[in-house]
Amino acid sequence: MWIDILQDAFFAAIAAIGFSCISNPPRNSYCYCAFIAAVGHSIRYVLLNNEWLPIHIILSSTIAAFVIGLLAVYLAPHAKCPAETCLYPALLPMIPGIYAYRTVAALLLCLYHPEETLFGHYFYLLAYNGFTCIFIVLGMVIGATIPIFLFKNTSFQATR
């Protein structure tokens, strides 16, 4: 399991570096973005794949986003950039792309199958995947912004 956690952390760090390159932050913030993404994504992975008490993806994404927010606020003064510079690239690898893809696929299948039984099944898939995707993103937004509001002085002090 440790190898799976390290592999998950490694690929999340690479994705965070790629996403942070798009917004052109200071070069010293890349390692902070990678570290924060690796820790946050690993926490979500562990919470999802826990043998004793597996946690649903919505709650585990919210908890991981909260940890990402805490780390971003704590490490922003060291990176000498705003907390959001490290926060958003670290969150992007956790976007639920497969649920969004399944939502669109179910929508297209709803439109393609007008008979009631198949339409009902695909509409169920549309609703399940759509609501899951929306609530994961909503949980990530809430979890990531709570530390910024709780530690407002620390998070805005990084740019002074």
Distance CA 92, CA 94 (A): 5
pLDDT (0 to 100) of residue 12: 93
CA dihedral 110, 136, 7, 2 (to 10 degrees): -120
Handedness of CA 90, 93, 96, 101 (dihedral sign): positive
Decide if pLDDT at 144 tops 80: yes
pLDDT (0 to 100) of residue 38: 96
Provide the phi-psi class of 55: left if phi over 0, else alpha when psi is between -120 and 50, else beta.
beta
Is residue 143 a contact partner of residue 61, using CB atoms and an 8 Å limit? yes
Instruction: Tell me the pTM.
Output: 0.88
Render pLDDT for 7-47 as a digit per residue (tens, 0 to 9). Answer: 999 999 999 999 988 888 888 889 999 999 999 999 999 99
Render pLDDT for 121-142 as a digit per residue (tens, 0 to 9). Answer: 999 999 999 999 999 999 999 9
Render pLDDT for 61-107 as a digit per residue (tens, 0 to 9). Answer: 999 999 999 999 999 888 888 888 889 999 999 999 999 999 999 99
